[in-house]
A = this chain, B = another copy of it.
Amino acid sequence: MASRRHNRYGEGREALLAATVSVVAERGLHGLTFRAVSEVAQVNNTLISHHFGTKEALLHEAVAWATTRAIRLSELSAAEEIDESFAAALVELIAREPHLQLFQYEFVLESRRRPELREEAVALYEGYIDALERSLVRKGHTNTKALARAVFAALDGLVLQQLTVTDADSVREAVICIGALLDANLHADRQPA
């Protein structure tokens, strides 16, 4: 998948973090083993102990590494309009790079069981929701905090659906539907019944 031969001296740590995300995305947290990660990263499995100490620490660092790299979806969430082009872009992003999203779902479920991951999970979600809320404020919506949480949940749920049980086109239609709901809500605010 990545470069065929070994990494250069000093690149092992980065390769291990990237491999961790890939392994969790493809095989789940129960497929996350020293051997699996080290084989994908093309290094010896004891290098994980050297760099991170324990498996828990590896996951923790991989979470930090992945969330800084998950900016593209955050940018998407802050888009000015949830319209056809937004829906197409979101669906295409998920189809092209599902790993980061899959990793995040695994990680957020794990954060319920491991208190030391909670803080980063909360920060990740609140980051998305805050960006979305700012966009809603700009467009003149009211009750933006709860609205942003609801809209993000809808996008989050649809991404999960696309990754697991639903085809891309259905998801795209549903995303457009969310945009339509927001428009209707804006007009209702301006012309209350």
Give chain A's interface residues, CB within 8 Å of chain B.
Answer: 26-30, 32, 102, 105-106, 108-113, 118, 121-122, 124-126, 143, 145-147, 149-158, 160-161, 163-166, 170-171, 173-178, 180-185, 187-189, 191, 193
Contact = CB atoms under 8 A, between A and B. Distances in A.
Given A149-B174, A150-B154, A153-B160, 7 more contacts: A111-B164, A146-B177, A150-B181, A153-B155, A184-B187, A187-B188, A188-B188
Nearest to A123: B165
Contacts of A188: 183-184, 187-188
Contacts of A177: 143, 146-147, 149-150
A157 B153 contact: yes
B27 A165 contact: no
B157 A174 contact: no
A157 B162 CA distance: 13
A100 to B, nearest CB: 14
Nearest 7 Cβ contacts at the A-B interface: A153-B157, A30-B30, A157-B157, A154-B154, A184-B188, A156-B157, A146-B173
B125 A146 contact: no
Contact of A149 (B122, B161, B180): B161
